Structure 1
């Protein structure tokens, strides 16, 4: 049957409105999340806690108002959602962190169990080079 596109849009709306907890309530504790690339956020995270610590917590140290993610498009087929997002954040030093993302999300029983996330690695590297943590 697959995941409902309206449900996917609803859980991503949490991220759009700064409600990370609302979004992460729909992510499995043992999620398999890979952030592709060679930058300070890249890695293979095998739990929700490790993913948050390795990405969102780091971003929170350099982006005073968070990543400010917005959904651009959504494609859902069966239990997979491809979500294109962008951020409109400003770093502590004033650097505009207007990154673009593509998250390929795999669902099981309306819970995200695996993600492959793609983004502008050079922009992430510059963000942390100019705003060391």
Structure 2
């Protein structure tokens, strides 16, 4: 079954609603997730657990209300989607964290199995520089 724009929007609705658990139910446990760049969240993660610990857990320490991600645009072809997102978040120190993202997402049997995520590396570096994690 091929992925549709509507099904991708439905999967990402959890992130938009602040319900990360609903989104991550649609992510394979052994997801291959790469966050591009040279910043504290960048890296290659070989599982859902490793990805959430390396990114969302760190962000939750500096963004009291989470990243607040919103889908801006998407392109779907077969079992792949390109999803443009933006965040409208505020850090602990008051810094606006209005980042832009592009996730290239691969699906298998309705689950996200691989992601290549691109974002503003300088903004992420500044976020953690101004809001150090203990």
Confirm or deny a common fold (TM above 0.5). Answer: yes
The aligned residue for residue 55 of structure 2 is 55
Aligned length: 133
Counterparts of 2:17 and 2:30, CA distance in 1: 25
Q: 1:80, CA displacement in angstroms?
A: 0.3
Deviations 1:28-79 (A, max 9, x none): 0000000000000000000000000000000000000000000000110000
Following superposition of structure 1 onto structure 2, how do residues 1-133 of structure 1 map, counting pairs within 5 Å? Answer: 1-133=1-133
Deviation at 1:25, TM superposition (A): 0.2
4+ runs of 1 displaced by more than 2 Å?
A: none
RMSD after superposition: 0.6
Unaligned runs of 5+ in 2: none
Scaled by the length of structure 2, the TM-score of the pair is 0.98
Question: What is the TM-score normalised by the length of structure 1?
Answer: 0.99
Structure 1: runs of 5+ lacking an equivalent:
none
